[in-house]
Amino acid sequence: MKPLLKNADKNLLYPLLALSAILLFNLFFTDGFFSIQIKNGHLFGSLIDILNRGAPVMLITIGMTLVYATGGVDLSVGAIMAISGALSAQLIRPDYIKGIIEYGNTTSLFIVLSIPLLISIILGLWNGFLVAFIGVQPIIATLILMTAGRGIAQLITHGLIIVFEHESFQFIGSGFLFGIPFPIILVILLTFITWLLTRKTSIGLFIEAIGANPLASHYMGIKVKMMKTLTYGFSGFCAGLAGIIVCSDIQAADANNAGLFLELDAIASVIIGGTINGGRFSLAGSIIGALIIQALSTTIITRGIPPQVVLVFKAFIIIIVALIQSEKLRAQLKDLLKRGRK
Amino acid sequence: MPDLKADSSQLVEIRGLSKSFPGVKALDSVNFTLRRGEIHALMGENGAGKSTLIKVLTGLHKKDKGSIKVDGLDFESSSPMDASSKGISTVYQEINLVPNLSVAENIFIGRQPMKFGMVDWKLMNQKAKEALKKLDIDIDVTIQLSQYSIAIQQMIAIARSLDIKAKILILDEPTSSLDLAECEQLFSIMNKLKEEGMGIIFITHFLDQVYQNSDYITVLRNGSFVGEYPIKELPKLKLISKMLGKEITDINELNNKIHRDYYHNDKKMFVKMEGIERKGVLSRFDMDIREGEVLGLVGLLGSGRTEMAKILFGIDKHTSGYININGNLVNIKSPRDAISHSLAFCPEDRKTEGIIPDLTVRENIVLALQAKNGILHGLKRKEQEDITSKFIKLLQIKVSGLEQMAGTLSGGNQQKLILARWLAMNPKLLILDEPTRGIDIGAKSEIEKLINKMSEDNMSVLFISSELDEVIRCCSRAAILKDRKKIGELYGEKLTENTIMNYIAKDGYEL
């Protein structure tokens, strides 16, 4: 007997159903939700908006998925976003914090990108070092940076919101390539690269083995500590990139609010996407999870419901999807239906 | 079929019980009867359906068909908790207590004695102490459970089930982690309980223990009921043949396996350990293993066998001494280093150290190979499948497919899976730590045969086992350990069960 769906596809079924339900709701109740217009050769529309707004969460979700699969969690991604944004802005306008409004020489794009990304990776590796080599619980190790990170970002910006203009840097967050918003392109690229790295090499299998049984993995000669550390480093990179997108989009570094609570969105996305314990992970599931959360937010806002309610809805969706994914509950529901028929 | 008429003394009466899992018929019309005041052995190979029967009885699984009566009344249990409140208590092979709670808390978890709406700690500790006293165990009940040995933990689990006034006690492989004295202690408790009228279902792979303690034997095979027999009417050989579904002559053949009583002096030295010591764990010892040699490591539980293996494999560090491999001094600091020197290690606790239950059979087998090859030199899917198929066939692992989750395999097949993982690496020395623990006779003899074959192919094996007959069948030489110290070596004619036991008893001075 051949199963209808392969195991991996089956796990995607429920997140996809949830996403479809949200989209279907909009099809009936939100006018023009599915219309995509082309203005100046650029795509516009609610769907594009969901993808574009969701890009930062999708990026950190990619890193979070791998961390989660090793049996860990990364609470610091929001703070790393703030740090990387703050660094970018500071590099563009180094004198702003001294009260000098004039720009000096334009900082090269390479510097503005590479230094924040490098620092983000180092911060991620620091998390990994604490978890893998020192043996700190992941939730505690990353809580340290979650708490301290936002403070560090504020130190960088001296508590100011640094606003700036930098044409090539702004392209990252608000530019278009082939008519598609550039953040979406970045998400597609990073997803594809991560997929290649994890599924076309042994990395994915090692991560799953480590998450499911670290001791056995160690006995098999897998470099457990190294792999874990690198995973956190990668998560740091993803967060750094997300921070750059946000900062470049709003043309400002706001250390207080950039990436605030996004770590929770990322964790929710990973769980909704079907990566619930350490071990097996689904990159596609996580991306769909992130889309569900973003689609939900966009829907609520376009319906004119106060945005505060978004959080309640999010919680609701997480509960529902988590419940649907429980095999036990499904079996019990089936049982109930059977009994009902009798 | 023996007469199975209803009887007032019957505690459990199971008739025509069936249970299917997707693709497997785990139980097919099974009967089982337990009477008051008897010890009833439930026997069968791995996958015979013993565990499923117990799980249905205790409410972990739902039955498909058949009737279960307890005390003459229809019985259905929704969970093990429910079952235990109805008088059926189970002590599992893997102890189902909470390691970081105190002994007393473990005994009274969920039903702590209360005083003014709060837990009465004093009373609880006192009651726990009394409960253990009944089993002749005198320990500090306020200490964390994990501080005690597996044997004590098991006794605590039994004390717990006694305290909840169980009528039926199910012991699932209770002796697999116990040494001889501890076993005896357990048996005396079992017999005491039996005299008090309790019905005990005893599941074990140790035939001698069955004959020493049981009154009845029920045999299952491949999910079917083979029969129920009074112990006196079923000699050991007959039992084995019923369990295996094989003729007795086949089994005799197993027992007369090659007994190599020569010392491989002509073979090249492979591993030489000199003055190895791990402070506080293992006293200084020398040991060498030649190519193609099967070296046994024997000693009682806790004598330092596993510790020795873990040092050689780089899991634990030695505080002094040298390891030579092929005449070269090597520095093994991690399992990865050991693997690079063509060593392989099948750990004792296959559940926590061996298999990765959430990954598939294929992934479990190729993992170590992939780890050795490195991240960038992944095997193609086709190669992985070829390797997996090859070893599934070679080791006769029973799987429904290459993509079956390893966690769903039976114990014996999981053990073979780990063996397959290491054989795929083509190691020069394979360390086997209790490879036959908790697996059935059929799989045991297959593993023994395999060890023989590997040694003929010039692979060295370090064989750790608590079962002396196994060591004598497989090994040409054995190192004897006692109290975390190597006390000597036996080989050739001197390697018999008798000499080993004498050696251990007399610390190797006298033979």
Nearest CB to B359 within list A200, A212, A223: A212
Chain B hits for A206, Cβ within 8 Å: 367, 370-371, 375
CB-based contact B406:B414 (threshold 8 Å): yes
Best probe of the A interface among B63, B312, B363, B367, by most A CBs < 10 A, is B367
Question: B421 to chain A: nearest residue by CA?
Answer: A220
The residue with tokens 């726990």 is: B128
Least confident stretch, A1-10, A38-47, A274-283: A1-10
Q: Does the beta-carbon distance from A203 to B371 stay under 8 Å?
A: no
Which ipTM score applies to this complex?
0.80
A274 phi, psi to nearest 5 deg: 105, 0
Is A221 close to B376, i.e. CB distance below 8 A? Answer: no
- Nearest CA distance, B47 vs chain A (angstrom): 22
Residue at B31: amino acid letter: N
Per the document, the length of chain B is 511
Indicate whether B13 pLDDT > 50.
yes
Q: How confident is the model at residue A193 (pLDDT cuts 50, 70, 90)?
A: very high
Domains and CATH numbers, chain A: 2-21+55-341 (1.10.3470)
Banded pLDDT at B265 (limits 50, 70, 90): low
**B64 interfacial to chain A (CB closer than 8 Å):** no
Q: Is A215 on the interface with B (CB under 8 A)?
A: yes
- Partner B contacted by A42 (CB < 8 A): no
Report the gap between the CA of A239 and the closest CA in chain B (Å).
24
pLDDT tens for B59-85 read 888 888 898 988 888 888 888 778 877
Which CA distances in Å does B332 have to B268, B311, B324? 21, 9, 10
Query: A290-327 burial by CB neighbour count: b if 16+ within 10 A, else e?
Result: bbbbbbbbbbbebeeeeeeebeebbeebbeebeebbee
DSSP string, A62-125: HHHHHHHHTT---TTHHHHHHHHHHHHHHHH-TTGGGT--S--SPPPHHHHHHHHHHHHHHHHH
List, for residues A41-95, the tens digit of each pLDDT value. Answer: 788 888 888 899 899 999 999 999 999 999 999 999 999 999 999 999 988 888 7
Spatial distance between the Cα atoms of B375 and B443, rounded to a whole number of angstroms: 34
Put simply, whether B374 touches A (Cβ < 8 Å) is yes
- The identity of residue A243, as a single letter, is G
Task: Name the amino acid, one letter, at A88.
Answer: S
pLDDT at B257 over 80: no
Write the pLDDT tens digit of every residue in A198-233.
988 889 999 999 999 999 999 998 999 999 999 999
Quickly state the pLDDT bin for B121 (edges 50, 70, 90). Answer: confident
The pLDDT of residue B2: 41
- CA dist B465 and B393 (Å) reads 26
Instruction: Report residue B46's pLDDT band, with 50, 70 and 90 as the boundaries.
Output: low
Q: How far apart are CA A222 and CA A215, in angstroms?
A: 10
Q: Which tens digit of pLDDT belongs to each residue from B424-473?
A: 988 999 999 888 876 777 778 888 888 888 888 889 999 998 777 788 88
* Cβ contact B132:B139 at 8 Å: yes
Compute the nearest-CA separation of B402 from chain A (Å).
13
- Number of CB pairs, chain A paired with chain B, less than 8 A apart: 84
Q: Which residues contact B53 (CB under 8 A, 6 or more apart)?
A: B14, B17, B27, B30, B32, B42, B220
> In sequence order, what are the residues at sequence separation of 6 or more whose Cβ sits closer than 8 angstroms to the Cβ of residue A227?
A70, A203, A206, A207, A210
**Tens-place pLDDT, residues A116-148:** 999 999 999 999 999 999 999 999 999 999 999
Q: Angle at CA B109, nearest 5°, toward B104 and B111?
A: 110
What is the C-alpha to C-alpha distance for residues B242 and B219, in angstroms, rounded to an integer?
7
Quote the minimal CA–CA distance from A280 to chain B in Å. 7
pLDDT at B254 over 60: no
What tokens appear for B205 in the block? 């792979």
**What percent of chain B shows pLDDT beyond 70?**
90
How many residues make up chain A in this entry? 342
Is residue A5 over pLDDT 50?
no
How many angstroms separate the CA atoms of B172 and A234, rounded?
45
Which of B370, B421, B430 to mutate to probe the A interface, most A CBs <10 Å? Answer: B370
Judging by DSSP bridges, how do beta strands B10-21 and B216-221 pair with one another? unpaired
Mutate to test the interface with B, among A219, A281, A282, A335 (most CBs of B within 10 A): A219
Question: Would you call A205 and B370 a contact, using CB atoms and an 8 Å cutoff?
Answer: yes
Decide if B356 and A203 are in contact by the 8 Å CB cutoff: no
Q: How far apart are CA A210 and CA A218, in angstroms?
A: 8
Computed over every residue of chain A, the mean pLDDT equals: 87
For A287, B35, B91, B173, the CA distances from B54, given in Å and listed in that order, are 43, 16, 11, 12
Shortest distance between the Cα of A217 and any Cα of chain B, in A, equals 8
HSE toward the beta carbon, residue B235, CA cutoff 13 A:
3
Residue carrying the six token digits 């093994």: B332
Span A153-170, average pLDDT: 87
pTM comes to 0.73
* Averaged pLDDT of chain B: 82
Pairwise CA distance, residues B493 & B477, whole Å: 10
From A215, A220, A280, residue closest to B371, measured CB to CB: A220
Which stretch, B137-151, B152-166, B354-368, has highest mean pLDDT? B354-368
Read off the pLDDT of each residue in B331-344 and give the average, rounded to a whole number.
Answer: 91
Which chain B residues contact residue A205 at CB under 8 A?
Answer: 359, 363, 367, 370
pLDDT digits (tens, 9 = 90+) for B270-281: 888 888 888 777
Query: B133 near B102, Cβ under 8 Å?
Result: no
The answer to whether residues B30 and B17 touch, using CB atoms and an 8 Å cutoff, is yes
B353 at A interface, C-beta within 8 A: yes
pLDDT class of B8 with cuts at 50, 70, 90 = low
Write the residue in A200, A212, A219 that is nearest to B357 by C-beta: A212
Give the pLDDT band of residue A3 (cuts 50, 70, 90): very low
Q: What is the mean pLDDT of residues B222-236?
A: 87
| CB-nearest partner of B347 from A205, A209, A219 | A219
How far does the CA of residue B223 sit from the closest CA of chain A (Å)? 21
Is residue B269 pLDDT above 90, yes or no? no
* A312 has a pLDDT exceeding 80: yes
Q: What does the pLDDT average to over B464-484?
A: 82
Tell me how far apart the alpha carbons of residues A199 and A196 are, in angstroms, rounded to a whole number. Answer: 5
Cβ partners under 8 Å of residue B390, min gap 6: none
Is B225 in contact with B205 (CB distance < 8 Å)? no
Q: Is A225 on the interface with B (CB under 8 A)?
A: no
Residue B345 to residues A216, B368, B446, B457, Cα–Cα distance (Å): 11, 11, 18, 18
In whole angstroms, how far apart are CA A227 and each of A66, A214, A283, B493? 10, 11, 18, 50
